[in-house]
Amino acid sequence: MKHAAKMERFLKGGKEVEMVTVAVKMSMAMYAQLMQQRFQAPKCYPMPPKKGDLEAELGMKIACGFEMMYQEKKKEGEEGKGSGWKMYKESLEKSGYFKGLIPGSKEYNMLTEKAEEYYRNSSLFSKTRELLNAPVRQIDEILSLPYSADDFKNEDIPPSDDDSWLYSGEDELNSALQDRQNEMDLYELKHKKKSKEQQDTGASSRSKGEDFDLSELVKTMQGFIHKMSSYEGAEVPVDRDPREVELDVELFMKDVESVIKCRGDENLTGDVDDDEGSLDMDFGEGEDGSDMSDHEDSFMHSYSDVMNDELRNTTLKRSFVHANEQSSNKNEGTSNVTEHMDEEFSPVDVDVNLIKNLVDSFSCQQGVPGPTSNMLGLMGVKLPKDDSKDN
């Protein structure tokens, strides 16, 4: 404001300067700011004696604004500081140049003077000074041109624009604000409604999951496995489009005969190495078929024992849930021998393993189509989604 009080550049003649009327173009926002800004004219400014002269008041505000801008840019150009110096000083503060000293102290001012001296000798100072002085030089060139008040007297000045919107637009502004507020309220209402629907959907899905009967799933699977299907294979829904399998019967029978012939040759070759007497004895004793069945049972038991011995040291048995697994967890006081016997002879719970494998496979699908959902969908079974992982 001290620069506007003196008006050293834009009003060198003081009150002796003659005022003229000119047309000035500006935005509506700038015009509203000038009209609403209360500003007392400087004593050196030649305001007309008639109060309420709108054109003279606007001209005074514009002239004072130019004067303040000019003097500020001129000062920054002479000092060469501006935004470049501010950035340079901030970088010094971040690097610890001032060593945490209090601004305004003697040591702080000494360090500042050294930094300013170094900044004036840098190339950044000359570039910044040139940029800051550019608008000042341009204004000096414009004001140095010869001019007189007679050059503006015969100009055709268009009438001023209607500024009633500045005074009578309160109702329209309030109406527009109310419309925006209604839009925001409607958006929040829809957002709350959508959130509530999602919560209700999650609660219903959880209730469905709790009400889902796993025994029905076991019965459905057992019924599907034991059901006698037709020659076309497993039955699928009617809306699907199954493709018939093309089978060449003659070629299929030739392949089967070749496989049987190869198996027969292998058995014949193995029998040649056996003792002929034992062969005749076995053949004579097996005429009624009972000895042959006993031999097959003995072979199956021996084969089963050998297979169990091979699998005893593997982790295959741990991948199944046994029937006595829950009871063994409760009876912690049993001996190691009893636990070993239970582990060896306890049967596998087929139903529990079935449910466990189906649920694990369905969880791995992560909501996308997969083998478990497709297979159960053919049987009309739909497992509930696991919402606990999503939350």
Residue 207 structure tokens: 């209730």
| pLDDT given at position 208 | 52
The answer to whether the beta carbons of residues 384 and 208 sit under 8 Å apart is yes
DSSP per residue over 24-44, as a string?
----HHHHHHHHH---PPPTT
Residue 349 has pLDDT above 60, yes or no: yes
Q: How many CB atoms sit inside 10 A of residue 74's CB? A: 19
The answer to whether the beta carbons of residues 14 and 44 sit under 8 Å apart is yes
Positive or negative, the CA dihedral 361, 362, 364, 368 is positive
Q: How high does pLDDT run on average in the chain? A: 73
- The runs of H, that is alpha helices, within 51-148 are 54-79, 82-94, 106-120, 123-143
Residue 98 has pLDDT above 70, yes or no: yes
Indicate the pTM of the whole model: 0.40
56: Cβ contacts below 8 Å, ≥ 6 apart: 19, 47, 48
- How confident is the model over 153-163, as a mean pLDDT? 85
260: Cβ contacts below 8 Å, ≥ 6 apart: none
Classified as helix, coil or strand, 8 is coil
- Condensed to tens digits (0 to 9), the pLDDT of residues 249-269 reads 577 667 667 766 655 555 555
- Condensed to tens digits (0 to 9), the pLDDT of residues 297-339 reads 787 778 777 787 777 777 766 666 666 555 555 454 444 544 5
- Report DSSP state, residue 156: -
Amino acid present at 41: A
- Condensed to tens digits (0 to 9), the pLDDT of residues 173-203 reads 788 889 999 998 888 888 888 877 777 665 5
Largest CA distance in the chain: 150
Measured distance CA(60)–CA(7) in Å, rounded: 11
The answer to whether the beta carbons of residues 225 and 361 sit under 8 Å apart is no
Would you give the distance in Å from CA 339 to the centre of its chain? 52
| Phi then psi dihedrals of residue 386, to 5 deg | -90, 95
| pLDDT given at position 286 | 45
- Condensed to tens digits (0 to 9), the pLDDT of residues 104-125 reads 899 999 999 898 888 888 887 8
Measured distance CA(125)–CA(77) in Å, rounded: 10
